[in-house]
Structure 1
Amino acid sequence: MDRSRHVLLEYHERSKHRLDFYAPGPSRLDWAAQPDPFRVFDGTPRVALPVAADILVTRYNALRRGALPPAHNLDLHTLAILFELSLGLSAWKAYGAQRWALRCNPSSGNLHPTEGYLLCPALPGVPAGVYHYLSRDHSLEHRAAVDDPRWTEAFPEGGVLVGFSSIYWREAWKYGMRAWRYCQHDCGHAIAAVSYAAAALGWQTRLVEATADDMVAHLLGLDRSEEFGAAELEAPDVLLWIGDPERRPDLERMRAALDHAQWYGRANQLSSGHATWSDIDMVHRATRKPHTAEPASRNPKRHPLPAAPALDLTFARIARQRRSAVNFDGTTHITDVAFFSMLACLSAYRDTPPWNALMSRAQVHPVLMVHRVNGLEPGMYVLVRNGGALSDLKRSMRPEWLWLKRGPDILPLYFLLPYDLRAAAKLICCHQDIGADSCFALGMLARFEIALKQPWRYRHLFWECGMLGQALYLEAEAAGVRATGIGCYFDDEMHALLGVRDHVWQSLYHFTVGGPVDDPRLSTFPPYAVQR
């Protein structure tokens, strides 16, 4: 444990961007080695999924208020909707001869290191087994066919598992050492994306937090080295249970059933050349998760209900129109009501996406630099998502902060500093104008000390940041503005601004929300041109 803690701390410090130098990265981009954004298992039988999300009438505002529809049956069509609105393509973009895909789950640099899997019993239109989701074709690759009765018995009625893995090279090709952080952010975005899409179908989602990485790897077939060969390996991330939240699948029984499964396919190689980032390999090993007890605490039931957003859209529409802003106009304002409503959706509580996926209490708190919110004084604010953290946050920050309660009574928002922070936001966001031109920018302050005690929780802190980011993405779209995640920021400049001097708290992700400036040179095309 001491060795893992040392490696984690060393990676965390060495992967920070600083004013006088950036974290180690490639000296140049080797475009010939740019990774293929789509993992394919050649030789697998495929289940074609219908493009069916338009039949889903669930409104986004209902989901954010916890009003889920009656649960749909699990079958080919509903699973197709689940994957289409969480991990599926949302559009194709083109500029001249260049063409690239966008997805419902965002990714740093649109590089998409996260791979999605389905584990299910026999369902209408979907045979039992393990599947890899191929977003390019909106299809399920049948990696393992299982007819052992123990497989079916392992699933409580009316539930399936969704699994995630990460291919670190996809991010490291462009971002070098810091790429491991971005892979964890992306996993968090994907967890939230699945939680929202499942809720739109009336289903609850829970992280299977106790499971060891080795079990995740085995169930997803990631440890079958002969089927990867020279292809890039996938690191196991997490399993999500979609079904009755009071029940769980029997993973040991599933493992035993897989001993008699028929496996198919070989992974495609994504890149012709590779660079080795030993720091990523080391932090991967240091944060490997063992089997642990299920967390005892749950998120509270009571929460602030958000006001209705400016746009009353279906969830299907908002999930597919989500984009990362490239630039902001520097003039757009939002109302304080819209701002408070966004923050209410960042509060952690039971049975409402995406926070229904988490069993543990919130450990990440947004520190907001407000620039253009009508009715709210510009300056610094903090949203304390877990009331038990308030006293520790006060002790860890500058003693001169005001800590004045703002907003609705039930919203735990505190005003720290009245000041125009646009220049500070731009500086902290690696000198990017998007930090100052936004309506507000924020850093996500995480209780880092828990990772020093249990290193695998370092990953979970990044996941929680990614989930916050996904909630902000959807909230911004519903408010008629746009958001973007900021992976390039000066970590310790943010800490210095707050007065944070040790590793009890660390900022792990940044975000901005504002009026977008679209690029008219880009053309947009539908994600799946041929309707099945």
Structure 2
Amino acid sequence: MENATDAVLNYHQRTKHQLNAYAKGPESLDWDDQPNPFRRFKGCETVTLATPGVELDCLFADLDKPEMITPQPFNLDKLGLLLELSFGLSAWKQFGPDRWALRCNPSSGNLHPTEAYLVCTNAELLQPGVYHYVSHDHHLERRATFDPSAGEPACYIGLSSIHWREAWKYGERAFRYCQHDIGHALAALSYAAACLGWSIKLIGEAGDADLAHWLGLDRQEDFVAHEREAPDLFCRLHTGNTSHNPFNAEQLAPLYATARWFGQAERLSGRHFYRWPIIDEVAVSAEKPPTAVERKEMPVLPLPAPSRNLPASGLIRQRRSAQHFNGKADSLPLADFQRIMLALLPNAKPPFTAWNWSPQIHMLLFVHRVDGLEPGLYFLPREARDVATLKQAFSKDFIWQAVDAPFEFYRLVAGNVRQAAKTLSCHQPIASDSAFSLGMLARFSENIAAKAWRYRRLFWESGLLGQILYLEAEAAGIRGTGIGCFFDDAVHGVLGLQDSNWQSLYHFTLGTPLDDRRLETLPAYAHLLK
């Protein structure tokens, strides 16, 4: 029988895009049966949250020193604002009769497999229980109630994935994208909490079975068979007046002994024409058991001010994924580029304050148009200890020329790399028309061999870094977009990698966007005001 490590490694190899073949996906898209992007539970009471759209005084640069931000009062209105800035709608787009929503947390293909839950034991805030956040309606659905006398007051947020939503379009590779999106969502939550002067602590030691129990995901009778949710992350919310006592899972046991559950998930699709059993198999192999507590102390790394120091809440709401870039735009100022690079390094600021582990991912950059930088292939190490190892693993043709910068940075190859960037990213011009694009190179087989579930954590880290790039791009007056489609082994071939010790997990690109004027942009929550 295949062990968990082999199953995960085989899944990853099987779902690689190759220059002569793409990973298995649907032969056609059943647009009439696209999964509903908004999960709702019928039979639940709802809790109305304050009207979204409130702007906060906190500027984006203030998030570089979160300890200096005055905490907002901890009440239901501010909690609703946290959920909006993390998972809520940011706008609607319309083209002819077609209309679709954008959200503050990005998602591969705008399919949004991530669901958010609130577990509240603070009777002064809400009736203690489990709540599901509905971004479309900006309200909470009460899934369970607890005896208010059990447990200490606390507030937790859990994240889960509906793999079917992503697999409908992307087939077998969808499990990867769901994990990316969890990383994006965790970072979005961390940024949003910091805007309010709060913080998020990731309970990384919790096991998936416990998460499923706490969020009600193990109640299989409440879900359509092929639309169940997989547990991913569990975080504790810390505000100006909440306890910082260490988390103890046993504290939740008395609560759930008194739980009364309500509601059933509404069907997302009328039919499931394609089935992808490999996703269910890798999900089982990558299940996480309870583990020892891990906490990574992040260094304090000063950052230069962003060139567009906008209110952080406004910048979060304006985040978009660029669809096209202006390949003839002016070069990106060097100061903006350097701020973006510094923001990717571990730092005692969001979203790294919600991350418990040492960096496992480094950046391979295709630089096209950045002031003061010769076009070429570059390398940004996020952990200095790995540089010697990577010099041995990479092609001997690379020059490893140190670049004068306020961080460790190397030029590997000088010259025009636009065509290479485009080809490697599934022939997409967004990788070559931008100011620069990049690939996220992860310490791979060593992690999977140690613990198979770390496979998911590598993608979470890449998604977290992607969210940094999204917001830093907005603060630089440009725009970014994640690239999930790339030719995995071709990237490794360019680098000269001979084994699976290092693997590229996510690509990204940043530049001056070309807006499609045929698209109409509509307010996020106008439908709630009618």
How far off its partner does 1:295 sit? 1.9
Q: What secondary structure, in the 3-state scheme, does the structure 2 residue paired with 1:149 have? A: coil
Which of 355, 359, 365 lines up with 1:358 in the alignment? 355
Q: How does 1:521-532 map to 2 (within 5 A)?
A: 521-529=518-526, 530=528
1:445 is matched with 441
1:266 is matched with 264
Distance (whole Å) between structure 2 residues aligned to residue 322 and residue 50 of structure 1: 22
2:324 is matched with 327
1:496 is matched with 493
Distance (whole Å) between structure 2 residues aligned to residue 22 and residue 198 of structure 1: 39
Q: Which amino acid aligns with 1:345?
A: A
8 A contact 1:205–1:245 mirrored in 2: no
8 A contact 2:52–2:525 mirrored in 1: no
How far off its partner does 1:397 sit? 0.9
2:428 is matched with 432
Distance (whole Å) between structure 1 residues aligned to residue 77 and residue 123 of structure 2: 11
1:358-405 per-position Cα deviation (integer Å, ceiling 9, x unaligned) = 111111111111000011111111111112222222221112322233
How far off its partner does 1:285 sit? 0.7
How far off its partner does 1:123 sit? 5.0
How far off its partner does 1:531 sit? 5.0
Q: What secondary structure, in the 3-state scheme, does the structure 1 residue paired with 2:284 have? A: helix
2:5 is matched with 5
1:62 is matched with 62
8 A contact 1:177–1:277 mirrored in 2: yes
How far off its partner does 1:230 sit? 4.6
Distance (whole Å) between structure 2 residues aligned to residue 10 and residue 83 of structure 1: 37
8 A contact 2:310–2:475 mirrored in 1: yes
How far off its partner does 1:202 sit? 1.1
Q: What secondary structure, in the 3-state scheme, does the structure 2 residue paired with 1:236 have? A: strand
8 A contact 1:299–1:348 mirrored in 2: no
8 A contact 2:106–2:181 mirrored in 1: yes
How far off its partner does 1:519 sit? 0.7
1:126-146 per-position Cα deviation (integer Å, ceiling 9, x unaligned) = 221111000000001111111
1:113-163 per-position Cα deviation (integer Å, ceiling 9, x unaligned) = 000011112354522111100000000111111125233x2x4xxx52110
1:468 aligned to 2:457? no
Q: How does 1:95-174 map to 2 (within 5 A)?
A: 95-151=95-151, 153=152, 155=153, 159-174=154-169
Question: Bigger CA drift: 39-48 or 241-250?
Answer: 241-250
1:14 is matched with 14
1:464-522 per-position Cα deviation (integer Å, ceiling 9, x unaligned) = 00001000000111111100000010011111111111111100000000110111111
1:292 aligned to 2:280? no
Q: How does 1:178-327 map to 2 (within 5 A)?
A: 178-230=173-225, 232-243=227-238, 247-274=245-272, 275-295=274-294, 298-303=296-301, 305-327=302-324
Q: Which amino acid aligns with 2:288?
A: K
Give the TM-score, by structure 1 length: 0.95
Q: What secondary structure, in the 3-state scheme, does the structure 1 residue paired with 2:227 have? A: coil
Q: What secondary structure, in the 3-state scheme, does the structure 2 residue paired with 1:480 have? A: coil
Distance (whole Å) between structure 2 residues aligned to residue 414 and residue 149 of structure 1: 58
Which of 509, 513, 528 lines up with 2:510 in the alignment? 513
8 A contact 2:41–2:141 mirrored in 1: yes
Distance (whole Å) between structure 2 residues aligned to residue 263 and residue 66 of structure 1: 37
Distance 1:246 1:402, change over 3 A: farther
Distance (whole Å) between structure 2 residues aligned to residue 53 and residue 315 of structure 1: 13
8 A contact 1:88–1:135 mirrored in 2: yes
1:241-261 per-position Cα deviation (integer Å, ceiling 9, x unaligned) = 221795333322213311211
8 A contact 2:298–2:352 mirrored in 1: no
Distance (whole Å) between structure 1 residues aligned to residue 68 and residue 157 of structure 2: 20
Q: What secondary structure, in the 3-state scheme, does the structure 2 residue paired with 1:385 have? A: coil
Q: Which amino acid aligns with 1:283?
A: V
Q: What secondary structure, in the 3-state scheme, does the structure 2 residue paired with 1:445 have? A: strand
Q: Which amino acid aligns with 1:237?
A: D
Gaps spanning 5+ residues in structure 1: where? none
1:418 aligned to 2:417? no
Distance (whole Å) between structure 1 residues aligned to residue 164 and residue 226 of structure 2: 11
8 A contact 2:368–2:418 mirrored in 1: yes
1:224-267 per-position Cα deviation (integer Å, ceiling 9, x unaligned) = 11222457100000101221795333322213311211211110
8 A contact 1:327–1:517 mirrored in 2: yes
How far off its partner does 1:345 sit? 0.7
Q: How many residues align?
A: 523
Distance (whole Å) between structure 1 residues aligned to residue 342 and residue 11 of structure 2: 34
8 A contact 1:206–1:245 mirrored in 2: no
How far off its partner does 1:104 sit? 0.3
1:82 aligned to 2:82? yes
Question: Bigger CA drift: 50-59 or 104-113?
Answer: 50-59
Distance (whole Å) between structure 2 residues aligned to residue 428 and residue 447 of structure 1: 20
Distance (whole Å) between structure 2 residues aligned to residue 97 and residue 345 of structure 1: 40
1:26 is matched with 26
2:452 is matched with 455
8 A contact 1:426–1:433 mirrored in 2: yes
Over aligned residue pairs, what C-alpha RMSD do you find? 1.7
Q: Which amino acid aligns with 2:493?
A: A
Percent identity (aligned)? 47
Distance (whole Å) between structure 1 residues aligned to residue 297 and residue 423 of structure 2: 35
2:346 is matched with 348
8 A contact 1:494–1:507 mirrored in 2: yes
Distance (whole Å) between structure 1 residues aligned to residue 6 and residue 89 of structure 2: 40
Question: Bigger CA drift: 163-172 or 220-229?
Answer: 220-229
Distance 1:422 1:299, change over 3 A: farther
8 A contact 1:68–1:199 mirrored in 2: no
1:325-380 per-position Cα deviation (integer Å, ceiling 9, x unaligned) = 00001022211111010011111123x10111111111111111100001111111
2:386 is matched with 389
Distance (whole Å) between structure 2 residues aligned to residue 247 and residue 327 of structure 1: 47
8 A contact 2:9–2:448 mirrored in 1: no
Question: Bigger CA drift: 522-531 or 64-73?
Answer: 64-73
